[in-house]
């Protein structure tokens, strides 16, 4: 998340600021005649069919006709219900949903990014799905994850784009590293050996641009989550100055001081990280599986592997796997809640979720689903095995102003790496800043 980068709902940097209220209201007026909310008039067609709207950014990013084909299946299985797809780029979809939330005209079923959930839930714009699932006796044990606010689910991830560790096989071998690191000490040792080869290669790469601060989520906090740690209290409040986070940032600081991290981190963005790895200038990175095809097409000769993010030495629990999702929710103002839930349930069903995941080249939201592509590519097969043995982890999902939280951490973290503040001062400053945002 997620960033959870860029390819439509993958871990691209999808936490840009909300559209201004004035813009949202103007857009809302334009949408009022076609939205799926209580004022939208989606009461059905002349034949008596109920028409519900699904607003999302996924259709342009899927193979032609893939999402429409699934909607045709749904309509065939549910006579009397028609689905109108409202599709557009990510930013346009976000603006439309913000406008619909402000005006009460949000589409019946909506594609959601985890970074939007807190604001929409606080507005009362999206339904409490925990209650919906309870009302329909739905077994949520089949769901890989749910995005909750105050212990109520408002978004269910349909497909997930995960962030494992990538390692350059040739650089590892030239540095005398015999195995992919599984612990922090092994990782630091490998980074040091790669940087010492004199091949103009760095051991690890860390994007910390404050313009796009998702490196805090993907490349820093991933070390916390990999070892079962957290940056939040049990009730979801900031707890960034705890021992788990301190241990992770001290670990990164050690590699920074040793010169094993690629230069230019403070202005580096995620795409810069991927470019450096693709060109063989860095031995290891944490990145989205969505970039595998891009890397292979740009450098077919690059030999690399993927693995779980290394954990603290001695850790034996389940590892957290950073991820971002195409999530789904239901408008609080829909005139057709039963039909809307039927569509959500359909998309989460085993076979349909497998098909959608396969088309998206992502991992399913239903734990019983399995996309075909994982058996057609060894790297994806290994990634799927890692995903199934891990716990989805992205604590920024569902938080208020998540990009602001990342940026506040980033600012203090850069000062710590620079030697301007000690670790305790840095974390105390972040804790204070975050508490002001909640």
First to last CA, the chain: 20
How far apart, in whole angstroms, are the C-alpha atoms of residue 163 and residue 272?
16
**Residues 48-74 pLDDT 10s:** 689 999 999 999 888 899 999 999 999
Residue 47: exposure state from Cβ atoms within 10 A (0-12, 13-18, ≥19): exposed
Each domain of the chain, given as residue ranges in start order, spans 21-162+323-393, 165-307
The CB density around residue 307, as the number of other CB atoms within 10 Å, is 17
Q: Is 178 exposed, middle or buried (0-12, 13-18, 19+ CB in 10 A)?
A: exposed
Query: Would strands 282-286 and 202-204 be described as parallel, antiparallel, or unpaired?
Result: parallel
State the DSSP string of 70-133: HHHHHHHHSTTEEEEEEE--HHHHHHHHHHHHHHT---SEEEE-HHHHHHHHHHT-B--HHHHH
CA–centroid distance for 121 within its chain: 18
Beta-strand relationship, 202-204 and 165-168: unpaired
Report the pLDDT value the prediction gives residue 41, as an integer from 0 to 100.
38
What confidence score (pLDDT) does residue 288 get? 86
Quick check: 380 and 292 in contact, CB under 8 A?
yes
What secondary structure letter does DSSP report for 217? I
Tens-digit pLDDT profile for the chain (438 aa)? 333 333 334 433 333 333 333 333 334 333 333 444 433 334 444 456 899 999 999 998 888 999 999 999 999 999 999 999 999 888 789 899 999 999 999 999 999 988 889 889 999 999 999 999 999 999 999 998 899 988 999 999 999 888 999 999 999 999 999 999 999 999 999 999 999 998 789 999 999 999 888 899 999 999 999 999 999 999 889 999 999 999 999 999 999 999 999 999 999 998 899 999 999 999 999 998 878 878 988 999 999 999 999 999 999 999 998 888 899 999 999 999 999 999 999 999 999 999 999 988 888 999 999 889 888 888 888 888 888 888 888 999 888 888 899 999 999 999 999 999 999 999 999 999 999 998
pLDDT value at residue 398: 81
Identify whether the C-beta of residue 99 lies closer than 8 Å to the C-beta of residue 21.
no
Closest CA to 230 of 389, 394, 388, 116: 394
Long-range contacts of 122-125 (CB under 8 A, 24+ apart): 122/149, 122/400, 124/332, 125/100, 125/101, 125/331, 125/332, 125/333
Among 3.40.190.10, 3.40.50.720, 3.60.15.10, 3.30.1950.10, name the CATH number for the domain at 21-162+323-393.
3.40.190.10
pLDDT at position 251: 98
What pLDDT is recorded for position 411? 97
Identify the pLDDT of residue 28. Answer: 39
CA distance 412 to 409: 5
Residue 211 CA to residue 229 CA, distance in Å, equals 27
Give the whole-angstrom CA distance, residue 90 versus residue 3.
12
* Interatomic CA distance for residues 197 and 171, integer angstroms: 9
Whole-model pTM above 0.75?
Answer: no
Burial class (CB in 10 A: 0-12, 13-18, 19+), 379: middle
Per-residue pLDDT tens over the stretch 18-39? 333 333 333 433 333 344 443 3
Residue whose pair of structure tokens reads 């060109």 in the numeric block? 279
Note the CATH number of domain 165-307.
3.40.190.10
What gap in Å lies between CA 20 and CA 169, rounded to an integer? 47
Model pLDDT, residue 198: 81
- Pick the closest to residue 243 from 225, 254, 229 (CA basis): 229
Q: What pLDDT does residue 190 have?
A: 98
DSSP state of 51: E
CA 205 to centroid of chain Cα atoms: 20
């Amino acid at each position: 998340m997620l960033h959870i980068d860029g390819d439509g709902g993958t871990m691209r940097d999808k936490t840009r600021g909300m559209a201004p209220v004035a813009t949202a209201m103007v857009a809302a007026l334009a949408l009022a005649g076609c939205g799926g909310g209580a004022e939208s008039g989606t009461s059905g067609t002349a034949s008596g069919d109920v028409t519900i709207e699904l607003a999302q950014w996924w259709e342009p990013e899927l193979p032609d006709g893939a999402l429409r084909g699934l909607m045709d299946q749904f309509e065939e299985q549910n006579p009397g219900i028609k689905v109108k797809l409202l599709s557009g780029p990510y930013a346009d979809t976000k603006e439309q949903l913000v406008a619909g939330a402000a005006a009460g005209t949000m589409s019946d079923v909506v594609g959601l990014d985890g970074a939007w959930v807190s604001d929409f839930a606080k507005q009362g714009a999206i339904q409490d799905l925990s209650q919906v699932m309870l009302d329909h006796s739905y077994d949520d044990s089949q769901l890989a994850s749910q995005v909750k606010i105050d212990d109520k689910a408002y978004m269910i991830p349909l497909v997930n784009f995960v962030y494992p560790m990538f390692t350059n096989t040739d650089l590892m071998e030239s540095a005398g590293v015999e195995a992919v690191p599984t612990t922090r000490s092994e990782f630091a040792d490998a980074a040091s050996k790669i940087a010492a080869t004199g091949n103009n290669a760095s051991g690890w790469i860390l994007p910390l641009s404050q313009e796009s601060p998702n490196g805090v989520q993907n490349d820093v906090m991933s070390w916390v989550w990999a070892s079962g740690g957290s940056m939040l209290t049990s009730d979801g409040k900031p707890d960034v100055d705890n021992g788990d986070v301190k241990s992770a940032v001290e670990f990164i600081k050690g590699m920074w001081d040793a010169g094993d991290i690629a230069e230019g981190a403070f202005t580096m963005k995620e795409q810069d990280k991927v470019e450096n790895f693709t060109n063989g200038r860095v031995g290891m990175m944490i990145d989205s599986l969505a970039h595998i095809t891009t890397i292979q097409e740009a450098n077919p000769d690059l030999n690399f592997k993927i693995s779980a993010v290394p954990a603290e030495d001695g850790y034996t629990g389940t590892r957290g796997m950073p991820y971002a999702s195409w999530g789904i929710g239901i408008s609080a103002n829909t005139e057709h809640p039963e039909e809307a839930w039927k569509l959500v349930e359909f998309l989460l069903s085993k076979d349909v979720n497998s098909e959608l995941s396969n088309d998206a080249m992502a991992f399913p939201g239903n734990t019983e689903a399995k996309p075909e592509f994982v058996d057609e590519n060894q790297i994806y097969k290994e990634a799927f095995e890692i995903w199934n043995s891990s716990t989805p982890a992205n604590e920024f999902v569902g938080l208020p102003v998540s990009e602001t939280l990342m940026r506040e951490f980033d600012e203090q973290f850069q000062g710590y790496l620079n030697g301007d503040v000690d670790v305790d001062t840095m974390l105390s400053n972040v804790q204070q800043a975050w508490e002001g945002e909640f």
